[in-house]
A and B are shown apart, each in its own frame.
Chain A
Amino acid sequence: MTEPDLPAAVIQLMKGVVYRDTHERAWNHLLHLQPQVRDYVEVLGLQVVIDEGEGYAFLRQRPADEDDDQQLPRLIPRRSLSFHVSLLLALLRKKLAEFDAQGGDTRLMLTRAQIAEMLRVFLPATSNEARLLDQIDAHINKAAEFGFLRQAKNGDQVYEVRRILKAFVDGQWLADFDAKLAGYASLLAGEGDDEE
């Protein structure tokens, strides 16, 4: 390998997640230059998260210090997810946790049918099968847009659940989701009381 190359590492990080298996060169450079990369992105108000065990690295907004008056503008956009897409991500995270508990392989592959089965329980019952599947497809595509699902290239309608999901749909995110659900449920219950 040639000398560690800061531009290669940082540019790849700016474009998205750096995976050990798909961006081998940038990954190696990144590992060698961790302190330099950290300093570099700190200027932009970002921090780099590297998980060597899982083999991915990405940029995250640096949490603002409380005593720092000037708030740097956000560079990492926040995306809004509908209820069903959020639920899909949570269920995928559950599948990943169960899969890890069983051991053996590292790649979790699910067919479109399996994902639909998983999600269907939480969707309102409907007689229009086709429309339901279309909706589920739309949710799957949204998840794929974020990089959490990857369609296998042989076109078998099999998706790989990428392990980067663990970094974004983590305990904190799930706790927020749970809290929002509880809030929403109590809101509905409150309205129900009012109507009676």
Chain B
Amino acid sequence: MSYPAPTMFPMAGGTTFDEIGWLRANSPAWRLLRADSAPLVLSFLYRVFVEENIRSIAATQLASRLDDELYALNERIPRSFPKPAKAYLDDWASPESGWLRKYYPEGSDEPHFDATPAVEKALQWVRALGERDFVGTESRLNTIFDLLRQIVFGTETDPQARIDELRRQRQQIDDEIARVEAGDLSMLDSSGVRDRYQQFSATARELLADFREVEENFRKLDRQLREKIAGWHGGKGELLDDVLGSRESIAGSDQGRSFQGFYDFLLSQARQEELSELIARVHQLAEVSDRDPRLRQIHYDWLEAAERTQATVRQLSEQLRRFLDDQVWFENRRVIDLLRDIEARALRLRDERPVALTMDIDASAPEIRLPMERPLYAPKRKPRIDSSGIRPAGEDDETDPTVLFEQVYVDPGPLRGAVRAALRRAPQVGLADLIAAMPLSHGVAELVTYLSLRDDAFTIVYDDARTEQVSWTDPDGRGRTATLPRVTFTRATGSTP
């Protein structure tokens, strides 16, 4: 049974018969829940896109991960998922499903995938099906009071009313200070803590999940704007007034303003530190049973997601600006009109063969022939490998293979950390000074690891003209000195470690 498409898209879920019917047939999230392969799709996409908070992954990487997953599942029940991983991914990204978004990012020939908000919605629904052992209510009532107060007093124009409210709050705080001074600390009991923590975790997760939808909304706005621009028949001036002034523009819309407010709020240094500390301390409380370790990092995840969305908004605005550029605009309109004519004429000539019509086009550079640049043929030298003298190790061999197993492995992580710490204090630090401050504990292997450190935050500069000497004591007690060109670590331009 087909349902009429709603005249206005259901805002936050329709409730009439037609609206629900239409949603059931057309909403990608509902389609996902109805699909037979829902357990595979939901569990796999959850792992990659939600748990690891990946927003963009290359096709080959995603396909190989799905391959592993399918292999494990097919081991349990043979042939339950017969198609190759790539076929599943293309299915999930097709317009009929709408669960993955496939696109080509700048600088790569490989398509990349991202989950759509439909997946987030479906996942939220599935997770909410799990039974909660207790449903907190007090915390949410408190929040409701706070929100209502914010709305009422934020829109209050009468200064006296505001002053009265502020005085009332001050009185409350004074009473509380008196109580605490008298030794009466009102502690939050464990149910209160759990109640509030439950609300925190639900809201935090929802917020993270919503970022995908925010990005999708921005894209939708951009598409609407472009359609409007492309179909505009009036003058350019009116178009600009309409587009840039209205609430439809990306930054001016409700979505844009709210997101910008969130981003500014989150990005201030003070807030970041406060959040980190608060989250760390909350998780140390005994009453908080930590079922989801991701909640400890949630503020970093928010920041990452918000930065990504911000990057998308920037990109969209930039392209839109270019699209609105005078010449581009006029040219595009002219091109489209001409192409309509060309297509019509070409169709009429379809059955002519051959069409003896040629067009000329300029090349993009003068033609320069470089016949002397061709190298002469040099036959490749094949290395000769003689494998005849190899035999398995016997008892009477003199070489002791245990030396092979006593390799020293130096972890570059702490070394990188030490360099970054030193570079926080000074813009550059010499290797000799660094080693004088932190002596080598693994001998020459550690020295070589220092020389091979790679990091975005610093660069290594070698000065062949001068040499320096570095000394350390070996693990077996011998003192050693090495002479090497002077090595300096400098802060990479444009970054602060």
Contact = CB atoms under 8 A, between A and B. Distances in A.
B59 to A, nearest CB: 9
B486 interface: no
Nearest to B312: A104
B335 A16 contact: no
Given A81-B358, A188-B352, A178 B341 contact: yes
A79 B106 contact: no
A185 B319 contact: no
Interface string A88-129: 011101100100111111110100000000000111110000
Contacts of A58: 364-365
A59 interface: yes
B188 interface: no
B335 A101 contact: no
B316 interface: yes
B34 to A, nearest CB: 28
B226 interface: yes
A97 B336 contact: yes
Contact of A76 (B104, B322, B366): B366
Given A101-B227, A180-B357, A59 B219 contact: no
A93 B339 CA distance: 9
27 contacts: A14-B368, A15-B365, A21-B107, A44-B366, A77-B362, A78-B361, A78-B362, A83-B355, A86-B359, A87-B346, A89-B361, A90-B342, A94-B343, A101-B230, A102-B226, A103-B316, A104-B219, A124-B351, A124-B353, A147-B364, A164-B364, A170-B335, A174-B335, A180-B359, A181-B342, A184-B349, A185-B345
B342 A184 contact: no
Given A124-B353, A154-B110, A16 B345 contact: no
B444 interface: no
Given A153-B109, A173-B361, A100 B323 contact: yes
Nearest to A75: B366
B331 interface: yes
Interface string B81-113: 000000000000000000000011111011100
Interface string A134-160: 000000000000110000111000101
Contacts of A91: 339, 343
B146 interface: no
Contacts of A154: 109-110
A44 to B, nearest CB: 8
Nearest to A168: B361
A106 B323 contact: no
B106 A90 contact: no
Contacts of B109: 152-154, 158, 160
B363 A78 contact: yes
Contacts of B361: 78-79, 81, 89, 146, 168-169, 173
Contacts of A153: 109
A37 to B, nearest CB: 14
Contact of B339 (A46, A94, A107, A160): A94
Contacts of B193: none
B367 interface: yes
Interface string B321-347: 011010010011011101101110111
B359 A17 contact: no
Interface of A: 13-17, 21, 44, 46, 53-54, 58-61, 75-84, 86-87, 89-91, 93-94, 97, 100-107, 109, 121-125, 146-147, 152-154, 158, 160, 164, 166, 168-171, 173-178, 180-182, 184-185, 188
Give the one of B319, B332, B345, B359 with max A CB within 10 A: B359
A80 B358 contact: yes
Given A61-B362, A164-B364, A181-B346, A171 B335 contact: yes
Contact of A177 (B323, B342, B366): B342
Contact of A122 (B223, B350, B358): B350
A165 to B, nearest CB: 11
Contacts of B347: 121-122
B354 to A, nearest CB: 8
Given A94-B339, A100-B332, A104-B222, 16 more contacts: A58-B365, A80-B359, A89-B361, A102-B223, A103-B223, A103-B316, A105-B104, A121-B347, A124-B352, A152-B109, A154-B110, A173-B359, A182-B345, A185-B345, A185-B348, A188-B352
B364 A97 contact: no
Contacts of A107: 104, 106
A185 B110 CA distance: 43
Contact of A83 (B222, B320, B325, B358): B358
A90 B364 contact: no
Contact of B357 (A89, A125, A184): A184
B106 A106 contact: yes
B295 to A, nearest CB: 33
A30 B361 CA distance: 25
B13 to A, nearest CB: 27
Given A59-B365, A77-B363, A103 B320 contact: yes
B492 interface: no
Contacts of A169: 361
Give the one of B223, B323, B338 with max A CB within 10 A: B338
Nearest to B325: A53
Contacts of A89: 361
B365 A16 contact: yes
B225 interface: yes
B241 interface: no
B360 interface: yes
A79 B365 contact: no
Contacts of A158: 109
B366 A59 contact: yes
Contacts of B328: 53
